[in-house]
Amino acid sequence: MASSNTSLDSRALLSEGNDHSHDQEEEEGRWWKNVLDLEEAKNQVWFSLPMILTNVCYYSITLVSVMFAGHVGELELAGTTLANSWATVTGFAFMIGLSGALETLCGQGFGAKIYRKLGIYLQASCIISFCFAVIISILWFYTEPILILLQQDAQISKTAASYITYLIPGLFAYGFVQNILRFLQTQSILMPLVWFSVIPLGLHLGIVYSLVNWTDHRFKGASLVASISLWISLLLLAFYVFLAKKFEQTWQGLSFESFHYILDNLKLALPSAAMVCLEYWAFELLVLLAGLMPNSEVTTSLIAMCVNTEAIAYMITYGLSAAASTRVSNELGAGNPIRAKNAMVVTLKLSVLLALAVVLILAFGHNVWAGFFSKSSEIIHKFASMTPLLLISITIDSFQGVLSGFMDRLNMLSFLPSRLVSVNGFPMDDLINKLPGQPDVNFRQFSGYIDVDQKAGRSLFYYFVEAEKDPMNLPLTIWLTGGPGCSSVGDAFLGVGPFIANANAHGLKRNPLSWIRESNLLFIDSPIGSGWSYSNTSSDYQVGDDSTNKDLLTFIFQWLEKYPNFKSRDLYLGGSSFAGHFIPNFAKGLLDYNNQSSTFKFNIKGLILGNPVLRYKLDTLATYEFLRSRGMINNEMHQAIVKECNGVDEGNYSDSAMIQWSKSCVEAMAKAELAAFNVTSVGLAMARHFDVYRETCDQNWTVLESGNELTKVRHGVDMCIPLRGDFYFNIPEVQKAFRGNRTNLGYQWQGCFDGLNFSSTDKNRDMLPVLKQILQQSIPITIMSGDQDAIVPIVGTLNHVQKLAEEMNLKLTKNEGWKNGKKDGAGWMYSYGDLLTFMTVKGANHHVTFSKPSKAFFIFKNIVLNPSIKIAIADKVV
């Protein structure tokens, strides 16, 4: 090795000299990658090895009893081997098969992060196992007449019946053990399984040796100890699950809810049991057939030894099969079908290698192995003669076993009810595997269309992101944006959602202040024409409040059919700008439904509105009051606007009030615009309303198209983030990943659609009566406004809030400054009891979530989700 002070030049020479050898090593190592994915193989070996050891140990508990009983005499060997085969055929194999349902249910549930359901599925499976164990126990009580009916030797049948009677308690334990093993296996809990199987096996060896050699209960004792050892293992596993903190999410105690899943479990368990039993029966029936041959004591023992030997070898295959099943289920649950396929291929290759190792060991050590079963030289000699056929069978069975395990999982999917096909309420067809340039994350994203009117060809596009942690218990927040005609999905990438376009707009970076830290998020492109939402009927693009709300209501009911787990979830509704119309109307529609429904009801917990349009005409007039207060226009200009644009105020506002401004009013506004922003056109001035202090980003796509970075940071805000988001959404690979642009039309994706014809009457609609109806049903409303927004300025919104509070006789309980943690003053809070809160956000523009994401997140977390602590926050006076 070179010394640590090797010069840079010498390192360069060494590196250059080693290039050729490195290339050779890479070429030589490349064929290994073509033969076997070493990383996947290593993971599967480490995963399956504990399962193999566990399976061998549990199988050995009953097999060791057979071995010890077999040394008592040839009749006892024949009886115990026949009993063990009969118990396997009718009981143990069936229990293994029943537990196979958990590989699919718990495997996909864990992959889908629906942790609580794992414990429910386990309980349902244990109930099923118990019921079938009772039925099988009754069958075992009649073992002797059944075996005689099957033409078995009378003495051997009697011996077998005596032996199997003491295995009945062990059958119940075995069924429960198999269920817990699947429960733990699907969570990748490995080493504890080994210890909880090795310990009972070690105890079993000592106890059975003592009973067989030192007591009069030599034969029956071997069987009884097998049952005792299985119960010891069950108790160890049960206490582990009950007491270990790692299972706090997956095991939450006994629940009657498990009875609701018995039928779903049975639909998977019975086909699985049938497939496993057929595999075992194909071999174990040979033992019954051997009993029909001459010298049945020898033939039965000999065939049973071969079957048990193959079963031990099969444990290796079964361990790999379990690894494949779990890996495939987890990858499918996480929406990675390509990785699932690769895992299966690697398992098949490993099975061949391990089968070869078993064959070599048995080929050279068959006499030693046979001696464990019997001291009879005749049996040992005849077992040796059958070894070549046994080796061939083991080789073929190892390959078939893995394929069978894989096919079990695929066949089970055909029996899954629709809510399980979609992975417990998450539609796999809508799962986003990964967005282009997206960093790795531990949460899932979904997107797709909901057809709100199939006849008209009208569909709304959505983007759903599950909460970063504990998504099955956190609330659902629906977020809309304004325009009207702007994309809520695009808005998700401006501060609320999990990502923001990076500096060159060809990839994404994590948003550390995303609301997924506290809630699941659903973004809906609404109304029609926004983002990727579309209609095949041209008249649908003439929209208004009512048509938009009708589509949203249709959407949410259909969406909940896809995501049924969210039907009873706490629901928050939020949005910005013209969503000040969409969200209140939507909330009122849901509340109206609640009032009429006697069954399902939406669990609305609150609304959050950012710079909302509530009284459009007054919001427009407030723009110039805001500009005057900031010294951007003089008093004369403001008074001219008041004079020329009079006729409407907070007291006489109506939906039809002054649909059009007068010519003199428009001229007064234009003069003020040019003066306020020192520009040459009203259009340029209006563009600055979004943020009166920060310059907008240059609309220069060529910079991004060439792969260069485009940023413009002003007062801590990168004003180019929206433009980069627009560019990112127009990348073909991005649209493909989202499954957006379903119509495959060649139009450009727009953050705000300019071809929407929104009703001017609805644009002027007064939203205070709607907010009033929502508040009357005790639904809290939080409004946040950026103090640098001239589109919907704080002065106008505050007037609306005060008017609303006055009409509802709400008393102002807090009029204080608020802080974002220990930082400087973040704004001002006006609190009207626990129902209505208005918060100004210092330094924020028209989009608080974009310009001040930390403050927006603080409000969402501490005011909206936890309204009871708002008083404590407000006490931090600035």
CB-based contact 103:51 (threshold 8 Å): no
CB-based contact 215:221 (threshold 8 Å): yes
What are the residues whose beta carbons fall under 8 Å from the beta carbon of 530, sequence distance 6 or more?
483, 484, 485, 486, 487, 488, 753, 756
Closest CA to 182 of 1, 408, 489, 434: 408
506 is catalytic: no
Task: Given the residues 789, 800, 847, 851, select the one marked as catalytic.
Answer: 789
First to last CA, the chain: 63
CB-based contact 565:518 (threshold 8 Å): no
Closest CA to 160 of 273, 76, 98: 76
- Crossing angle (nearest 10°) for helices 191-214 and 218-243: 160
What are the residues whose beta carbons fall under 8 Å from the beta carbon of 403, sequence distance 6 or more?
348
Residue type for position 708: N
Q: Which two tokens stand for residue 81?
A: 């081997």
Residue 695's SS3 state is coil
Task: Given the residues 366, 800, 846, 847, select the one marked as catalytic.
Answer: 846
Closest CA to 817 of 857, 868, 855: 855
37 is catalytic: no
Burial label, 854 (beta-carbon count in 10 A; 0-12, 13-18, 19+): middle
Residue 468's SS3 state is coil
Residue 166's SS3 state is coil
Q: Which residues of 335-373 are buried (b: 16+ CB within 10 A; e: fewer)?
A: bbeebbebbbebbebbbeebbeebbeebeeebeebbbeb
Query: What own/partner pairs with CB < 8 Å and gap ≥ 24 does 826-830 have?
Result: 826/855, 826/858, 826/878, 827/787, 827/855, 829/870, 829/873, 829/874, 830/798, 830/801
Alpha-carbon distance of 415 to 429, in angstroms, equals 18
366 is catalytic: no
Q: Which two tokens stand for residue 568?
A: 């009873």
CB-based contact 108:423 (threshold 8 Å): yes
CB-based contact 778:835 (threshold 8 Å): yes
CB-based contact 646:652 (threshold 8 Å): no
Phi-psi region of 167 (alpha: psi -120 to 50; beta: other; left: phi over 0): alpha
Per the DSSP assignment, residues forming a β-bridge with 486 are 752
- Number of neighbouring beta carbons within 10 Å of residue 497: 24
Task: Given the residues 60, 85, 398, 577, select the one marked as catalytic.
Answer: 577
Closest CA to 686 of 757, 790, 612, 578: 790
Alpha-carbon distance of 662 to 480, in angstroms, equals 32
Three-state SS string over 588-657 comes to HHHHHHHHHCCCCCCEEEEEEEECCCCCHHHHHHHHHHHHHHCCCCCHHHHHHHHHHCCCCCCCCCCCCC
Please list the active-site residues: 577, 789, 846
